[in-house]
């Protein structure tokens, strides 16, 4: 992923140095396990660990130089490591293993650690969203369906629902972590023909990974589940971002992204304060969903394994982890600086002349004894007249002889608190969110 949309702690997980460091540790642990089985002399295993090269940028370059000859990255890696350790001890490196034993175990190790960073980021975001919801629990605003005024709600309720969805994303990440935190060191087609299952068990125990049955590769539905969790984060962040983009429109202006000193909203128009963070998040969510599609296509491989998945995963796995991590932190920063305009929310609610109370009026007419269709037509006639003429919906109802209900009943129908009396249910769910 390009540096613009990367944070250092996630970038470090997938760096070439870190990848080769993990490959080396897997190789060394496998050699240690072979000592316990009586296959590798303890002195040789000790020499492997003592003589193992330090994995840094120069080591990475040495592997790349060797790969130019071998045309195989794992073979090049093994050659460089064995060369650094020297014979005869170095010959035990990669004993009984196939490339995917090392590569897949390292991938799952990296993805597990990526999940930990993502879970932590979702937890941080949930706390910011929770506090925003509590702050605006009673901030009344218009709810919209199809982009059109519907009924009153509160900004806090809207935000609380975001928190609950982020919580479900965190649950998906926790499940994906369990799914990907696995390993396999079972040889060319997964039959342990040249390696004892005890080696896999030992390496898994040392790394905190669970050994699983496999072909030459760990099944890619696991990786697809991880990519889905990342894509789901992107979609949730886009849901919030799109809402904030609409609320920041000039005609609405119920909320606004923060604007720091020295910031410029437009190179041409100095008055502009554009929703740049929300729009960036919306765009990056598209990449996350696209990566999921690629990951789903990686599930089906030829026979016990081909490498059509390999090139894809080198891109989509680190990129999805990095982007999901980035958009979580970018959204947190956006919400911490968000400006909310309650007065504008009330003004917008009142701009439709009371039409947002049409449903309780309809129900009041039904309760008075009219049929639902007759009640609907009466309310609709007055609503359209209020909208077309810019007149008070309540006054039109008071003047309509077909509306035969007590004034107190209509007062209740037009009481905004009646509409919001059960908002607390959402906050009960929010309080239960860990």
What is the set of active-site residues?
Answer: 146, 266
Write the DSSP assignment of 94-145 as a string of letters: TTT--HHHHHHHHHHHHHHHHHHHHHHHHHHHHHHHHHHHHHTTT-EEEEEE
Task: Dig out the tokens for 215 from the structure.
Answer: 């072909």
The distance from CA 114 to its chain's CA centroid, rounded to whole angstroms, is 12
Phi/psi for 131 (5° steps) reads: -65, -40
CA 117, CA 229: separation in Å to the nearest integer? 13
CA 80, CA 62: separation in Å to the nearest integer? 7
Could you tell me which residues come within 8 angstroms of residue 349 by beta carbon, excluding any fewer than 6 positions away? 140, 141, 142, 149, 152, 356, 416
Among 337, 352, 410, CA closest to 385: 352
Cβ count within 10 A of residue 21? 17
CA 320, CA 294: separation in Å to the nearest integer? 11
216 contacts 306 by C-beta, under 8 angstroms: no
Task: Dig out the tokens for 148 from the structure.
Answer: 């059109």
Q: Which helix (H) or strand (E) holds 143?
A: strand 140-145
Residue 355 falls in which region: left (phi positive, over 0), alpha (psi -120 to 50) or beta: alpha
- ∠ Cα 416 422 405 (to 5°): 45
Residue 149 pairs in a beta bridge with: 144
202 contacts 32 by C-beta, under 8 angstroms: yes
The half-sphere exposure of 126 on its side-chain side, counting CA atoms within 13 A, is 21
Residue 147 falls in which region: left (phi positive, over 0), alpha (psi -120 to 50) or beta: left
- ∠ Cα 121 127 131 (to 5°): 150
């Amino acid at each position: 992923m390009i540096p613009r949309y990367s944070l250092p702690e996630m970038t470090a997980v997938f760096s070439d140095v870190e990848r080769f460091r993990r490959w080396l540790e897997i190789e060394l642990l496998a050699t240690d396990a072979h000592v316990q089985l009586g296959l590798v002399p303890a002195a040789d295993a000790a020499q492997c660990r003592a003589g193992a090269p330090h994995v840094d940028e120069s080591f990475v370059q040495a592997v790349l130089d060797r790969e130019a000859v071998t045309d195989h990255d794992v073979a090049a890696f093994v050659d460089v490591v064995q060369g650094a350790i020297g014979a005869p001890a170095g010959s035990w490196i990669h004993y009984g293993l196939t490339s995917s034993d090392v590569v897949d175990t390292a991938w799952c190790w990296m993805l597990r650690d990526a999940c930990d960073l993502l879970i932590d980021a979702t937890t941080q975001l949930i706390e910011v969203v929770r506090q925003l919801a509590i702050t605006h629990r009673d901030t009344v605003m218009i709810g919209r369906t199809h982009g059109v005024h519907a009924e009153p709600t509160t900004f806090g309720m809207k935000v609380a629902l975001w928190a609950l969805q982020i919580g479900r994303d965190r649950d998906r990440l926790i499940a994906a972590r369990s799914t990907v935190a696995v390993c396999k060191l079972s040889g060319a087609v997964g039959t342990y023909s040249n390696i004892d299952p005890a080696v896999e068990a030992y390496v898994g125990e040392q790394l905190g990974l669970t050994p699983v049955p496999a072909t030459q590769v760990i099944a890619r539905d696991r990786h697809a589940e991880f990519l889905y969790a990342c894509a789901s984060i992107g979609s949730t962040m886009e849901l919030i971002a799109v809402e904030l983009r609409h609320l920041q429109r000039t005609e609405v202006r119920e909320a606004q992204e923060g604007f720091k000193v020295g910031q410029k909203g437009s190179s041409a128009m100095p008055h502009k304060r554009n929703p740049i963070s929300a729009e960036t998040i919306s765009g990056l969510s598209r990449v996350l969903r696209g990566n999921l599609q690629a990951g789903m296509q990686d599930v089906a491989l030829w026979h016990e394994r081909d490498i059509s998945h390999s090139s894809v995963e080198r891109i989509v796995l680190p990129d999805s982890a990095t982007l999901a991590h980035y958009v979580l932190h970018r959204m947190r920063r956006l919400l911490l600086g968000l400006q909310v305009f309650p007065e504008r929310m009330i003004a917008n609610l009142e701009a439709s002349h009371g039409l947002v109370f049409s449903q309780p009026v309809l129900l009041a007419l039904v309760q008075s004894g009219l049929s639902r269709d007759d009640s609907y037509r009466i309310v609709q006639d007055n609503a359209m007249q209020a909208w077309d003429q810019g007149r008070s919906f309540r006054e039109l109802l008071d003047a309509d002889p077909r509306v035969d209900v007590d004034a107190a009943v209509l007062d209740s129908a037009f009481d905004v608190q009646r509409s919001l009396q059960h908002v607390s249910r959402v906050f009960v769910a929010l309080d239960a969110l860990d």
